[in-house]
Amino acid sequence: MLLLKELPTSKSLEKFVTRYPGTDISAISDFVSILRAASDISSALDALLAQHGLLQGRWWVLVLLMRQDDLTSSPSELAEKAGVTKATMTGFIDGLEREGLVSRFMDTNDRRKFLIRLSVAGQQKLDEVMPVYVQCVTQFMNVLGRPERNTLITDLATLASRVDLIK
Amino acid sequence: MLLLKELPTSKSLEKFVTRYPGTDISAISDFVSILRAASDISSALDALLAQHGLLQGRWWVLVLLMRQDDLTSSPSELAEKAGVTKATMTGFIDGLEREGLVSRFMDTNDRRKFLIRLSVAGQQKLDEVMPVYVQCVTQFMNVLGRPERNTLITDLATLASRVDLIK
DNA sequence: TGCATTTAGTTTGATGCCATACTATACTGG
DNA sequence: CCAGTATAGTATGGCATCAAACTAAATGCA
């Protein structure tokens, strides 16, 4: 995602409304602000995870596997839950397997399938990173008071539920 | 950015707080909600731009060039304003130039530099996409009432200003 | 049973994105 | 003027990401 750090000058805004009359500048500005804030937050998470040799994609895979009773899932299921394509998930699993954090097993019932299991090293990695993650995220979210936070989450979810309007 | 569509089951949450005691579950949950909403919104924008053969990176470059009086800027300046590295900007410009939406010129004063100028086709592309973009974004932002919107933007900016806490 | 369809996963090729390293040019202090 | 440093831009290599094509296996229907 892109930051667009530079805000438009009032002069360029003038030019803009001349060329595209009737534009609701505040809507555009608010929209860009949201994208930028989100990008900043996501980048910060990237940086935190990078300190532990992780990236967001791989991190969420570890988290998803941890949730499973037997620490096991399939690429398709993981892709579905993580909201990426199967092709992307193949890449994540390749990387995690190379680093020994997960293992691939054949599924004896369905020979098209693989089972992906969190390894001991993967669990250790989670135990190393998760406390830091939890602490940082908690501190971060506490920047806002509880009522502000609740309102923010609710309104943002309301907005996101209508992304169909952008089409 | 990654979606993480699946919310944890209460059972897996139980397991989580057992393994990582004292975790403020609501902070984590709120954090993930924000990332997910942002990802949804950004993806929607991707889809809108894709209908016009554009991607976010290239789109913002066109927007930045449009703001310039002479429709011209340099790769470094664009990278700075867009919040990406110079290497990334090289890629954007390569793509835009290949499609004829911008042109590279030598800077006669400083032979290290290039000047990037929005082409006529680039301006036409903006004129094609911008009205759609403006209309969609305006409708989208109007999902929230003005006071809710203002609060959302303010609180999100407040939060994003403290990303230093995630480190 | 047998062929068509669906599903699981990978591969390929494109773009985006960064860090790092490299080249060429400009600047600066002696 | 020259050596050292800084700056502009590109190249390289790695990961993320998708769509589309592909392979293999399972399923469904006649």
Q: Which nucleotides of C are covered by protein (CB under 7 A)?
A: 7-13, 15-21, 24-27
**pLDDT tens, A122-142?**
999 999 999 999 999 999 999
- As a whole number, the mean pLDDT across chain A is 91
**pLDDT tens, A55-70?**
888 999 999 999 998 9
Give Cβ neighbours of residue A92 (< 8 Å, ≥ 6 apart): A57, A58, A61, A78, A84
With contact defined as beta carbons under 8 Å apart, do B101 and B62 qualify?
Answer: yes
Q: Give the strand order in the sheet containing B72-73.
A: B72-73, B114-118, B102-106
Share of chain A above pLDDT 70, in %: 96
CA–C1' distance A165–D10 (Å)? 40
| DSSP 8-state assignment for residue B3 | -
Name the residue closest to C12, CA to C1': A87
Backbone angles phi, psi at A7, to 5 degrees: -85, 150
With contact defined as beta carbons under 8 Å apart, do B92 and B56 qualify?
Answer: no
Going by pLDDT thresholds of 50, 70 and 90, the confidence category of residue A6 is: low
Q: Which of A8, A28, A156 shows the shortest C-beta gap to B34?
A: A156
The number of C-alpha atoms within 13 Å of B92 and in the hemisphere containing its C-beta is 27
- The whole-number pLDDT of residue A15 equals 84
Amino acid (1-letter code) at residue A86: K
CA–C1' distance A73–C5 (Å)? 26
Q: Which of A37-46, A58-67, A94-103, B8-17 has the lowest mean pLDDT?
A: B8-17
Pairing of strands A114-118, A102-106: antiparallel
Share of chain B above pLDDT 90, in %: 61
**Of A30, A56, A147, the residue nearest B36 (C-alpha):** A56
**pLDDT tens, B108-123?**
888 899 999 999 999 9
Is the per-residue pLDDT at A74 higher than 80? yes
Neighboring chain A residues of B63 at a CB cutoff of 8 Å = 4
- As a whole number, the mean pLDDT across chain B is 90
**pLDDT tens, B34-79?**
988 988 898 889 889 988 888 888 899 999 999 998 999 999 999 9
B106 touching chain A per CB within 8 A: no
- Answer yes or no: is B27 CB < 7 A from strand D: no
Neighboring chain B residues of A131 at a CB cutoff of 8 Å = 20
Neighboring chain B residues of A163 at a CB cutoff of 8 Å = 40-41, 43-44, 140
Is the per-residue pLDDT at A8 higher than 90? no
The nearest CA of chain B is from the CA of A33 a distance in Å of 7
Interface touch B1/A42, C-beta < 8 Å: yes
Backbone angles phi, psi at B102, to 5 degrees: -135, 165
- The whole-number pLDDT of residue A61 equals 94
With contact defined as beta carbons under 8 Å apart, do A19 and B71 qualify?
Answer: no
